[in-house]
Structure 1
Amino acid sequence: MPIDPSRYRLCLVTDRALGRGRPLVEIVMEAVAGGVTMVQLREKSATTRAFLEEARALKAALAGRGVPLIVNDRTDVALAVGADGVHVGQTDMPVEAVRAIVGPDVAIGLSITDAGQIARADAGAADYLGIGPLHPQKTKPDASAPLELGGFAKLRRMTGKPVLAIGGVKAEDVPMLVEEGATGVAVVSAIMAAEDPEVAARAFVDAWKSETR
């Protein structure tokens, strides 16, 4: 597998609109100092050039820290900066097509919102799955209905792949998610919108530690 599964523990998904006007790299590095183990760069409105420049800056900042950089949607940007992975959704390029472009050493994640999606070949070809949204959330206006814990648990039991819970996830959700077999959590608002991203990230790390002692 291209990425050590332990790196899936706490994935920060970026959203510059939540960053209080602060530089994205600054927020990300504070979160990494707090224990973030993987970063997914998500830019829904940036131009290709701006996206590329941001990805290059993050790749450089994360160098030597053992924190993989995942690029959301844009396989071309991921290749251009030597990212560790690409994360795609149900309406993006199919996983097998992404694999043909990036090769075997780049991780591919896939968003899953229901049982029908998790049963398809696309999910079988991915390296890891992001299952959600767990709770109602505002970072994606077109988000599916929340699964809540019961829905997440049902989908998690349908796959043996690494699974990240996403969508309004809070530190207090971690104990229940660990119990239901989550490999990790993907967090947006709880860290990106925090006054202190390092402290916010550490709250998730502490929650994981309390469950794995």
Structure 2
Amino acid sequence: MTLGRLHLITDSRPGRDPVALVRAALSVATPDLVIQFRPADEWTDRVAYDLAGQLVALCRPLGVPVLVNDRLHVALAAGAGGGHVGADDLPVSAARRLLGPAAVLGATARLPATALRAVGDGADYLGVGPCYATSTKDGLPVSIGPEGLRAVARQCPDTPIIAIGGVTAARVPELRAAGAHGVAVIGAASDAADPARAIADLLAAVAA
């Protein structure tokens, strides 16, 4: 499986526009770009489905994959390329059965044992973190740093590791050195004065 190295996670905080962020990303897209659509907890399935459909329609002509976080039924209904599950979502094995063998499936992990189990249950890649402190999602555990990521990468050497949590372009080299295949970002793009420029810088960093 060839997996892009920059996973842009849409910002579901109030007042943020996921479609506008993805349009900015597509204006500078390279083959390393992956879109992860993260619906807000309070959004109805209909709202999530409508937005996911818009993103798939925008990204498909450019060959940019769209994954849906948490709501795998929305991923299936909207024709997304796959999904991503966290600790409180469907178990990885159940998610794989639901999505089928061809879909891309990611799983969140922060410990080597959890990572190894997720891979054994069918995860194609691992979202590992939070690597650094971040304010874009509430209730996250203590950050694990590059060394925590390195421990997971050593346990799962054949699985792409996507570092998440407080990632910036400047931090990409140390994360790649620790074993990350790529990175996932929210705030580094959506909080930027020029999101397209920020995404271009991140794409350049992961490709270096």
Q: Does TM, normalized by the shorter one, top 0.5?
A: yes
**Residue among 126, 142, 153 paired with 2:123:** 126
State the Cα distance separating 1:22 from its structure 2 match. Answer: 5.5
For 1:121-160, list aligned pairs within 5 A. Answer: 122-124=118-120, 125-159=122-156, 160=158
State the Cα distance separating 1:15 from its structure 2 match. Answer: 1.1
**Residue among 37, 40, 59 paired with 1:41:** 37
1:169 — aligned with what? 167
Matched, 1:206 2:204: yes
CA-to-aligned-CA distance 1:128-151 (integer Å, 9 cap, x gap): 000000101112211111011111
Matched, 1:109 2:103: no
CA-to-aligned-CA distance 1:42-96 (integer Å, 9 cap, x gap): 0122111100000011111112111100000111101101110110011211111
Q: Which amino acid is 2:6 matched to?
A: L
1:24 — aligned with what? 18
Q: Which blocks of at least 5 consecutive residues in structure 1 are unaligned?
A: none
Q: Which amino acid is 2:129 matched to?
A: G
Question: Structure 2 length as normaliser, TM-score?
Answer: 0.92
CA distance in 2, matches of 1:79, 1:104: 13
Does the CA-based 8 Å contact 1:34-1:197 persist in structure 2? no
CA distance in 2, matches of 1:118, 1:206: 28
Q: Which blocks of at least 5 consecutive residues in structure 2 are unaligned?
A: none
Q: Which moved more, 1:134-143 or 1:24-33?
A: 24-33
State the Cα distance separating 1:30 from its structure 2 match. Answer: 0.6
Q: Which amino acid is 2:72 matched to?
A: T
State the Cα distance separating 1:119 from its structure 2 match. Answer: 3.2
Question: Structure 1 length as normaliser, TM-score?
Answer: 0.90
CA distance in 2, matches of 1:16, 1:196: 18
State the Cα distance separating 1:181 from its structure 2 match. Answer: 2.1
Identity of counterpart residues, as a percentage?
38
**Residue among 89, 92, 102 paired with 1:95:** 92
- More relative contact order, 1 or 2 (CA 8 Å, 6+ apart): 1
